[in-house]
Amino acid sequence: MACLGLLEKMVLYLGILVYSKRRLTLVPKLLQQVSIKPQVKLNQQSNATMIHKNLNISNLQEAQGDMRNGYGYGSIGVFVSGIVWVFSSLIVNYHSSQKGIWTLIIGGMFIFPIATLLGKLMGIKGGHHKNNPFGKLAMEGTLWMIMCIPLAYGLSLIKVEWFFQGMMMIIAGRYLTFASIYGIRLYWVLGIILGLAAYALFRMEAGGFPSALTGGLIEIIFGIVIYGLYRYDKQKI
């Protein structure tokens, strides 16, 4: 029995030794594999850095210039949007707030085609180069705005006027992106003024008519100013 117990201990020790040696041989391989992964990430980061270093800023400026020339600095769209807002405010005042809401929603669908048509009648191309990345950004901003409309409509179920104030906030945020799309900082001013106006109307508990009218007048004024800037720059060329 003593011999059997001794034999069992020897087998156990031998097994531990073999297992330990196997672990020791695996450790360097594991360390090697682990050490490779950070190197791959480092290479990816260095490649990304090289790409950013090789970016030609003039290309971005050319893309913005293509958008400015193609859409008249975006002025016609801003102006037409303001007209839709004012018309919506009149519907609210003379009919009902609910009809005014649907006037703004449905009328908003025709802002781009109407602006494009008016722009072409005024000598504006109404389009951009198909490879211009800012064209995709403008489309993405439009889709984002459309997806936010149900949120504003949900606010109207609590208070009708909140729809117009909420939409002013949404459109204000979208105009901030126009500063990058067109390379015109004046859109920052437009976005900030619209946002502050929406907040002020909310604090004053303004109704649907003054809310929609305010948003429309702000856009009409800025649309005229931006178009004037476009015509002034065209005359200098």
pLDDT for 23: 43
Residues 114 and 150 in one domain: yes
Nearest to 211 by CA among 124, 97, 70: 97
Residues 194 and 112 in one domain: yes
Residues 80 and 180 in one domain: yes
Residues 24 and 85 in one domain: no
List per-residue pLDDT tens for the chain, 237 residues long.
443 344 344 434 444 443 444 444 443 443 344 333 333 333 344 333 333 444 444 588 888 899 999 999 999 999 999 999 999 999 999 999 999 999 999 999 999 999 999 999 999 988 888 888 898 889 898 899 999 999 999 999 999 999 999 999 999 999 999 999 999 999 999 999 999 999 999 999 999 999 999 999 999 999 999 999 999 988 876
Torsion sign (Cα): 109, 114, 116, 117: positive
Tokens (6 digits) for 58: 């003039």
Last residue of a domain, one of 54, 80, 98: 54
> Domain residues for 183?
63-236
pLDDT for 58: 53
Tokens (6 digits) for 205: 């508990």
Residues 174 and 146 in one domain: yes
Nearest to 186 by CA among 124, 122, 229, 231: 229
Residues 35 and 67 in one domain: no
Residues 108 and 166 in one domain: yes
pLDDT for 182: 94
Residues 45 and 77 in one domain: no
pLDDT for 185: 94
Residues 152 and 227 in one domain: yes
Q: How many domains does the chain have?
A: 2
Residues 159 and 100 in one domain: yes
